[in-house]
Structures are given as structure tokens and as C-alpha cells.
Amino acid sequence: MRHPLLPRPLMFCALAFAAAPALAQAPKAEAMAVPVHISPELAAAVAAPTRTPANMIRDKYRHPAETLAFFGVKPGDTVVEALPAPGWYTEILAPYLAAQGQLWVAQAPGKGVDGLKAKFAADAKTYGKVKFSEFPIKGEAIADGSADVLLTFRNVHNLIMRGGTASDDAFAGFFRALKPGGVLGVVDHRLPESRDSADEKTSGYLKRSTIVALAEKAGFTLAAESEINANPRDSADWPKGVWTLPPTLSQGDADRAKYLAIGESDRMTLKFVKPGG
């Protein structure tokens, strides 16, 4: 049965081999139509009855089927999900990869990993094959060059806000874990390029150029990007940053209807590739 919020296969625009400041000599990026095929296996995983109902309600904002199809995740892949707690995408990836592939979750010690372990223990049938790794990824559990795809959803802003070498260490680990030709998929809240970079430290939003620079520094190449998770109603200048909007609604009842009407944040969806494949 098709998920009620899941659209049929569609076409959308992406930028292939997008130019960035660090790639000033690269050919000019061109918008091109990229066919996105939502396979029956992926549709079934998105519609899985084991998903949390409250998470499924958010599909209209997070577009999981289209996003995973854009990143090219296949049922037989070895996939690493970095910092997945509390497991929104894990609920889809675990059943999708269970029969043929392998899902690793890379989570730092603490409440996040404890919550994931409890979630998995409560449903061993769905999560029994999922393996845990340290974060940042250092090759101690996930062998270097072993992953087909590495995904991280709405996490890079936290690494930037943490400061120090957190973001560099994370992207270096992503690069080591992936096979040559492997894909790094990143989704995060988008800050307009014209805004003060200081906003990245407090708002939860990041400039596209910041993520591209981090990935390129680690050795990745930007292969494509999609607007599937864009929200033009989000101006990214809210009283409590991105947490003003749903699902957090940090302002409580103040202007609640306004923020609900805006919906969840404007997000960039960036696909990087490790050279050499």
C-alpha cells in the first residue's frame, strides 16, 4: 500500500557538479532534471508499520523517499547513518536494508546511543541487524573504505556550534569510512549566503558554502544538490533560531499558528562523492 504522504515517482531539479568558491576553475554548474525512482522496496520501508506515527506525520516536510532516492541508497548497500538519534531515518533505513544490506549507526556516547539501544532492543525483528559504531568514525568498528553511503541529517549545524575540530573530525571520519565512489548525503537547515556567518554559531542554520567547504577540505567532491527539502516560507531569522519552527516550537503558544503555517525549516540537500570510484 502506498504511504498516504508518499508521492508517485517524480522528476525534480538538481545541480550536478555544482561550482563552489573552492572550485573556481571548475565548469559552470548547470541545472538539470534528475529522474528519481522510488522503488517498491523504498516505498514499503517508508510505509513500514513499525515506524512511529508521529514521525510519519513529518514525511511531508522531510520527504524521506525522495531524499533517499536522490542519494541513491539501494537495498544491498552498506550504509552508515551518522548521529541518527533519536532514529527518525533509522526507522526507514533499518527495514529497507535488512534483507540485503547493512546499516551502521555512528553515535557518540550518552543519552542518544542509550535511547537507540533501547529502541532496537524493543523491536529486534526490525533492528536486529543494525550495528553500532563510535562517533567520530575512526575505523575501529567500520572498516576504512567499506561503506557505500554515509548519511547525516540535520547534524552539521550542531558540529559547527560545538566548535573546535568537531566538524573537521566528523568529515574526516566520513571520508575514511566510504569506498572510493561512495556517497556522502547531507541535509541541514539553510542560512542565506548573505547573512552574517556568526549566525551559524547560534541559530541552527548553516550556509551552503560552509558545508561544501567542510566536505571539500575532507576530500569530497560536490556531485549534486536538490531542493526537495526546501521551504521558501522560512526566512531563517527567528527569535530562537531554527527551534522556533516546528517540530520544536520553542516559543510555546506565542505565534504558534504562524510558525505552524510556515512549517519546518528550509533545508539544503547535498550529495558529495569520494573520488576514485
Question: Which cell goes with 8?
Answer: 508517485
In a domain? residue 1: no
Whichever domain contains 164, its CATH number is 3.40.50.150
- Specify the pLDDT at position 34: 58
Identity of the residue numbered 38: I
* pLDDT-based confidence at residue 35 (cuts at 50, 70, 90): low
C-alpha cell at position 140: 575501529
- DSSP letters for 36-80: E---HHHHHHHT-TTS-HHHHHTHHHH-HHHHHHHHT--TT-EEE
4 part of a folded domain: no
Residue 157 covered by a domain = yes
Contacts of 275 (CB under 8 A, 6+ apart): 180, 181, 219, 220, 221
Domains in the chain: how many in total?
1
Q: Quick: pLDDT tens for 137-174.
A: 998 899 999 999 999 999 999 999 999 999 999 999 99
Name the residue with cell 532534471.
33
Domain membership of residue 175 (yes or no) is yes
Residue 3: inside a domain = no
Q: How confident is the model at residue 9 (pLDDT cuts 50, 70, 90)?
A: very low
Q: How confident is the model at residue 277 (pLDDT cuts 50, 70, 90)?
A: confident
Q: Tell me: pLDDT of 21 over 50.
A: no
Report the candidate in 272, 136, 124, 273 with the shortest Cα–Cα distance to residue 211: 272
What pLDDT, in 10s, does the model give residues 201-248? 999 999 999 999 999 999 999 999 999 999 999 999 999 999 999 999
Whether 86 is covered by a domain: the verdict is yes
Q: With respect to residue 264, please indicate whether it lies within any of the assigned structural domains.
A: yes
Strand partners, 226: 14, 269
Assess if residue 244 is contained within a domain. yes
What is the average per-residue pLDDT within 92-118?
Answer: 97
pLDDT for 4 beyond 90 = no
CB 59 within 8 A of CB 3: yes
Range of the domain at 48: 10-273
What residue type is assigned to position 101 of the chain? G
Helix then strand count (H, E) for the chain reads 11, 10
